[in-house]
């Protein structure tokens, strides 16, 4: 027996944020970051709470790639506030922090029979899909730990394209490649199903059709809406099908060298596609056929499986080039000496990452090390 779960109600499109105007609650806890305060987005949310007579407390101390100290601080404030509504407003880092704060409070306290607050996630990047996933990624020292629990699934996800117009081009590129990586990894995952396939295929098409417009014309609301939807749809695919070793390698690279998550995926993705497809061998695996099918559905040359896999890799590289993304880990400013000094530590982290078991091709230490070496050099 298999299961496919889609939890949150999704409010999407222009003015989706107005959903907040119909809320009833006593006390809200708003988790966000300083950028959301600076852009006035936090006020947009708290104004609506005030209009509804809902008391609120704002916790805006979440940085990118949140660590355990941010979660502990959030727990203290939330515990004192006793909310019946939690709103996460921000990128994946903020949404993950809110999830981890709620999860930790409810699982460590004795009175865990206290009613769980309503949980609303409002993503302001089009990348992680965290608004619909049961995942939360939290850093402990230099390792990114992936918590997975359905408890963390939001009740409502609000996808308002107005909130992503301000995302600068470099972050648009990073987060957009994260969406592509979620869809590709879910599509070839050992746990893929007809349901996750449908979502992954749609998300891949939306990324190839709209990401460049979001990058080149940040205020193109139609393109922003499509990428916001793509991010959420890819999230639905991977929260069910899980991911693969691009993410395992990216988590370790991000944890050790602070490479932004989507950029880390972009640097590793094509090397992993070639590895999973066994492109330089028989190129006849189920994953290879799936990559080729995706290439064909994108209108790329795919008269053989090998040609399809190659076309997909070329198309991904063209997308990255058009957005001026780095071609190698070296290009991101990580020195050769630093990289090789931490290489085996990252390999160890990637091997035990919770995304590794669902990668379509089983992988060993040596193969992970080779993938890192290829991505460092960009060959």
Q: Residue 105 or residue 163: which is nearer to ligand NAD going by CB?
A: 163
Q: Residue 167 or residue 295: which is nearer to ligand NAD going by CB?
A: 167
Q: Residue 100 or residue 105: which is nearer to ligand NAD going by CB?
A: 100
The answer to whether the CB of 234 falls within 8 A of the CB of 182 is yes
Taking the complex as a whole, the smallest distance from the CB of residue 190 to ligand NAD amounts, in Å, to: 18
Q: Indicate which single residue of 33, 160, 225, 353 sits in contact with ligand NAD (rule: CB under 6 A).
A: 33
**How many chain residues bind ligand NAD (CB under 6 A)?**
31
Q: Residue 262 or residue 308: which is nearer to ligand NAD going by CB?
A: 262
261-277 helix and 245-257 helix, angle to the nearest 10 degrees? 140
223-251 residues labelled b (16+ CB within 10 A) or e (exposed): bbbbbbbbbbbbbbbbbbbbbbbbbbbbb
Nearest to 20, CA basis, from 68, 67, 111, 85: 85
Strands 156-159 and 143-148: unpaired
- Give the DSSP letter string of 189-251: STT--HHHHHHHHHHHHHHHHHHHHHHH-TT-HHHHHHHHHHHHHHHHHHHHH---HHHHHHH
Taking the complex as a whole, the smallest distance from the CB of residue 251 to ligand NAD amounts, in Å, to: 6
Taking the complex as a whole, the smallest distance from the CB of residue 80 to ligand NAD amounts, in Å, to: 25
Q: Which residue is nearest to ligand NAD (CB)?
A: 91
Nearest to 291, CA basis, from 361, 229, 344: 361
Q: Cβ of 82: how many Cβ atoms within 10 Å?
A: 12
| Alpha helices per DSSP H over 89-145 | 92-108
Q: What are phi and psi of 329, to 5 degrees?
A: -65, -35
**Footprint on residues 67-96 left by ligand NAD (CB under 6 A):** 90-94, 96
**Footprint on residues 350-369 left by ligand NAD (CB under 6 A):** none
**Footprint on residues 113-172 left by ligand NAD (CB under 6 A):** 124-125, 127-130, 133, 135-137, 144, 163-164, 166-167, 171
For residue 301, give every residue at least 6 positions away whose Cβ sits within 8 Å of its Cβ, in sequence order, or none: 295, 307, 308, 311
Site string for ligand NAD, 299-338 (x = CB under 6 A): ----------------------------------------
Taking the complex as a whole, the smallest distance from the CB of residue 10 to ligand NAD amounts, in Å, to: 15
Q: Residue 125 or residue 248: which is nearer to ligand NAD going by CB?
A: 125
Length of the chain (residues): 379
Q: What are phi and psi of 138, to 5 degrees?
A: -125, 140
- Give the DSSP letter string of 308-369: HHHHHHHHHHHHHHHTT--SSTGGGT--HHHHHHHHHHHHHHHHHSTTGGGSSS---HHHHH
Q: Indicate which single residue of 30, 65, 207, 319 sits in contact with ligand NAD (rule: CB under 6 A).
A: 65
The answer to whether the CB of 268 falls within 8 A of the CB of 332 is no
**Footprint on residues 259-278 left by ligand NAD (CB under 6 A):** 261-262
Q: Residue 129 or residue 360: which is nearer to ligand NAD going by CB?
A: 129
Q: Residue 19 or residue 293: which is nearer to ligand NAD going by CB?
A: 19
Q: Residue 75 or residue 237: which is nearer to ligand NAD going by CB?
A: 237
Q: Indicate which single residue of 35, 77, 198, 300 sits in contact with ligand NAD (rule: CB under 6 A).
A: 35
Taking the complex as a whole, the smallest distance from the CB of residue 172 to ligand NAD amounts, in Å, to: 9
Q: Residue 154 or residue 308: which is nearer to ligand NAD going by CB?
A: 154
**Interface residues with ligand NAD (CB under 6 A)?**
33, 35, 39, 64-65, 90-94, 96, 124-125, 127-130, 133, 135-137, 144, 163-164, 166-167, 171, 175, 178, 261-262
């Amino acid at each position: 027996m298999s299961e496919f779960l889609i939890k949150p109600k999704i409010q999407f499109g222009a003015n989706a944020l107005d959903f907040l105007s119909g809320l009833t609650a006593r006390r809200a806890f708003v988790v966000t970051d300083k950028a959301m305060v600076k852009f006035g987005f936090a006020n947009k949310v708290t104004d609506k709470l005030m209009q509804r007579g809902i008391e609120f407390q704002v916790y805006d101390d979440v940085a990118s790639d949140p660590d355990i100290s941010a979660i502990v601080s959030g727990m203290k404030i939330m515990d004192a506030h006793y909310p019946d509504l939690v709103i996460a407003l921000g990128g994946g880092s903020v949404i993950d922090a809110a999830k981890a704060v709620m999860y930790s409070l409810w699982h460590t306290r004795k009175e865990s029979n206290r009613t769980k607050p309503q949980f609303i996630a409002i993503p302001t990047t089009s990348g992680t899909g965290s608004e619909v996933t049961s995942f939360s990624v939290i850093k402990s020292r230099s390792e990114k730990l992936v918590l997975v629990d359905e408890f963390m699934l939001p009740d409502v996800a609000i996808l308002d394209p107005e909130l992503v117009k301000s995302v600068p081009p470099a972050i648009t590129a990073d987060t957009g490649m994260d969406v592509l990586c979620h869809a590709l990894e879910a599509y070839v995952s050992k746990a893929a199903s007809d349901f996750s396939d449908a979502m992954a295929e749609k998300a891949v098409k939306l990324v190839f059709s709209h990401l460049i417009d979001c990058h080149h014309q940040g205020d193109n609301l139609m393109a922003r809406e499509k990428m916001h939807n793509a991010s959420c749809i890819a999230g639905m695919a991977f929260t069910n099908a899980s991911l693969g070793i691009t993410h395992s390698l990216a988590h370790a690279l991000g944890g050790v060298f602070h490479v932004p998550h989507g950029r880390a995926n972009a640097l590793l993705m094509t090397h992993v596609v070639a590895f999973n497809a066994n492109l330089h061998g028989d190129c006849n695996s189920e994953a290879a056929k799936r990559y080729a099918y995706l290439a064909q559905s994108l209108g790329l040359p795919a008269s053989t499986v090998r040609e399809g896999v190659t076309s997909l890799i070329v198309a991904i590289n063209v997308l990255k080039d058009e957005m001026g993304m780095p071609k190698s880990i070296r290009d991101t400013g990580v020195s050769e000496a630093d990289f090789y000094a931490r290489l085996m530590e990252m390999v160890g982290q990637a091997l035990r990452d919770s995304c590794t078991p669902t990668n379509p091709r089983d992988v060993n230490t040596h193969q992970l090390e080779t993938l890192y070496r290829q991505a460092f050099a960009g060959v």
